[in-house]
């Protein structure tokens, strides 16, 4: 193991890999990524593989739009030989009440301001996009044609290979045990395979971000929560966009090689790091999915699993330095959407570390915002 | 035997030659191979390919077979339709 590094990134999910790539691309030598299992073993590899720009807060819209701009050229930028499977066939967000309909009109207007081509559709027009949508359950819908699907494994692999070519060192199956501090400065990262001296640490540990914060006495206002998901057998193409509903608590899409992948959240799920599967999820998910999309009833479920949402108080990411500990950077609290925002995570954290002018204003993403309640705008468009 | 003609994962069309290429590219754990090539993600849930991949990893990297971990077994044990899952309670008479 290396004895020292300019930057140590904790977490080998898409965020950590994207940060590593952007730092290396800007010429930072000696970047190290430490991952306790394999790359994507946390939330990245367990997510629903969706890329959405239809958000309810200006910041999330801005980050999501800019991330999609990156994904559209990711294969060329990262010079990847594999296939990241970016399929832009849209997200159909269905409304089921007058309240949702009104909110969706507002959301579409906000999204349009950021260059996101969302349209507010009547239920008849929604049916043209998904002909077997159960029309009794839908009042209207929002559709953004440039949202879509992206393969979490190969997309992370693309960042990984590009970063590696630029000299980044990856240590998988390596656990961070402690971070040493002296005179309010970071000294070293201690792992089970050795100690790396460094002045700069990025906490991109996803579900474990709060635990990493505690190692340096920084209390990050996030918690982790198990969200369940399932995948079916592969079948012929029958659904183009991701279909989601906030009130019905479902997201569901058919991935490019054929299986359906779908998830929902459980309001009674205890906070914590457990990623267990439950029978209750399976039954509730099956009921919601077959009721909204009836032809799905004949498709077999193959597998279910869980993964951690790292929730922030306003459901927007925390991309931030820490006043009391220079050299410690945080990229967490994505509240279930870290995968799709990763390009901007990489860009913004690298700009912070290198003291560059930020691409977007950083105040709404900082830890400080939680000290000023008037600065907080809560994102409601979360499944 | 030609590794291109030895099928390891029938569900996801992965041959022994594909596995060798992944080993050469630096992937050495089942979970990594699974995520790049979808080995074990199909309808058999790695019940067919799991042991074969384990054996090939052990051989290639000179690791004791019992130390080579394979996939996490997850529910369901067999495919069940969403319709049956949704209507299950109706049959509980």
Q: Is A174:A193 a contact under the CB 8 Å cutoff?
A: yes
Write out chain A residues lying below 8 Å of B83, CB-based. Answer: 286, 290, 297-298
Q: Is B74 in contact with A303 (Cβ distance < 8 A)?
A: yes
Please name which of A142, A191, A139 lies closest in space to residue A169, comparing C-alpha atoms: A191
Write out chain A residues lying below 8 Å of B85, CB-based. Answer: 282-283, 285-286, 301
Write out chain A residues lying below 8 Å of B47, CB-based. Answer: none
Whether chain B has a CB inside 8 Å of the CB on A183: the answer is: no
Whether chain B has a CB inside 8 Å of the CB on A83: the answer is: no
* pLDDT surpassing 80 at residue A85: yes
Write out chain B residues lying below 8 Å of A154, CB-based. Answer: 36
Give the global pTM.
0.96
Distance from CA of A291 to the nearest CA of B (A): 9
Whether chain B has a CB inside 8 Å of the CB on A235: the answer is: no
Chain B segment 16-35 residues within 8 A of A by beta carbon are: 29, 31-32, 35
Reported as a single tens digit per residue, the pLDDT across B4-58 is 999 999 999 999 999 999 999 999 999 999 999 999 999 999 999 999 999 999 9
Task: Report ipTM for this prediction.
Answer: 0.92
Whether chain A has a CB inside 8 Å of the CB on B43: the answer is: yes
Q: Which residues pair with A197 in a beta bridge?
A: A4, A188
Q: Is B86 in contact with A304 (Cβ distance < 8 A)?
A: no
Q: Is A250:A288 a contact under the CB 8 Å cutoff?
A: yes
Task: Specify the pLDDT at position A122.
Answer: 97
Reported as a single tens digit per residue, the pLDDT across A3-16 is 999 999 999 999 99
Task: Specify the pLDDT at position A33.
Answer: 98
Task: Specify the pLDDT at position A383.
Answer: 87
Task: Specify the pLDDT at position A382.
Answer: 86
Q: Is A303:B45 a contact under the CB 8 Å cutoff?
A: yes
Q: Is A286 in contact with B74 (Cβ distance < 8 A)?
A: no
């Amino acid at each position: 193991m290396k004895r020292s590094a300019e930057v140590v990134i904790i977490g080998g999910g898409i965020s950590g890999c994207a940060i590593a790539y952007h730092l290396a691309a800007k010429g930072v030598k000696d970047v190290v990524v430490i991952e306790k299992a394999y790359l994507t073993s946390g939330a990245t590899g367990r997510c629903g593989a969706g890329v959405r720009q239809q958000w309810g807060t200006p910041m999330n819209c801005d980050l999501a739009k800019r991330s999609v701009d990156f994904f559209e050229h990711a294969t060329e930028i990262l010079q990847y030989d594999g296939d990241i499977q970016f399929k832009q066939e849209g997200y159909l967000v269905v409304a089921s009440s007058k309240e949702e309909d009104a909110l969706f009109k507002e959301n579409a207007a906000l999204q349009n301001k950021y260059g996101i081509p969302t349209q507010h559709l009547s239920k008849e027009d929604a049916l043209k996009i998904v002909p077997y949508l159960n029309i009794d359950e839908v009042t209207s819908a929002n559709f953004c044609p440039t949202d879509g699907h992206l393969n979490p494994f190969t997309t992370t692999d693309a960042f990984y290979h590009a970063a590696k070519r630029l000299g980044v060192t990856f240590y998988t199956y390596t656990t961070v045990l402690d971070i040493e501090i002296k005179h309010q400065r970071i000294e070293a990262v201690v792992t089970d395979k050795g100690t790396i001296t460094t002045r700069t640490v990025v906490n991109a540990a996803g579900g474990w971000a709060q635990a990493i914060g505690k190692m340096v006495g920084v209390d990050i206002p996030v918690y982790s929560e198990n969200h369940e998901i399932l995948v079916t057998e592969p079948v012929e193409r029958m659904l183009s966009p991701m279909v989601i509903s906030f009130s019905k608590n479902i997201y569901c899409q058919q991935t490019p090689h054929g299986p359906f992948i779908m998830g929902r959240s459980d309001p009674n799920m205890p906070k914590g790091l457990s990623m267990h599967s439950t029978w209750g999820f399976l039954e509730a998910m099956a009921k919601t999915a077959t009721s909204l999309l009836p032809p799905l009833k004949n498709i077999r479920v193959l597998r279910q699993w869980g993964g951690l949402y790292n929730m922030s108080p306003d459901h927007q990411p925390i991309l931030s330095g820490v006043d009391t500990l220079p050299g410690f950077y945080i990229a967490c609290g994505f509240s279930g959407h870290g995968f799709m925002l990763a390009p901007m995570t990489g860009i913004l954290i690298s700009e912070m570390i290198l003291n560059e002018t930020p691409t977007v204003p950083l105040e709404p993403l900082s830890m400080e915002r939680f000290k000023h309640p008037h600065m907080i705008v809560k994102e409601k468009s979360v499944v | 035997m030609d590794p291109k003609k030895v099928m390891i994962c029938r569900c996801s069309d992965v041959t022994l030659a594909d596995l060798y290429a992944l080993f050469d590219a630096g992937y050495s754990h089942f979970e990594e191979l699974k995520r790049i090539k979808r080995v074990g993600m199909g309808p058999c849930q790695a019940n067919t390919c799991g042991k074969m991949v384990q054996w090939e990893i052990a051989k290639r990297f000179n690791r004791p077979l019992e130390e080579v971990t394979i996939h996490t077994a997850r529910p369901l044990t067999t495919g069940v339709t969403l319709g049956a899952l949704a209507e299950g309670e109706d049959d509980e008479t």
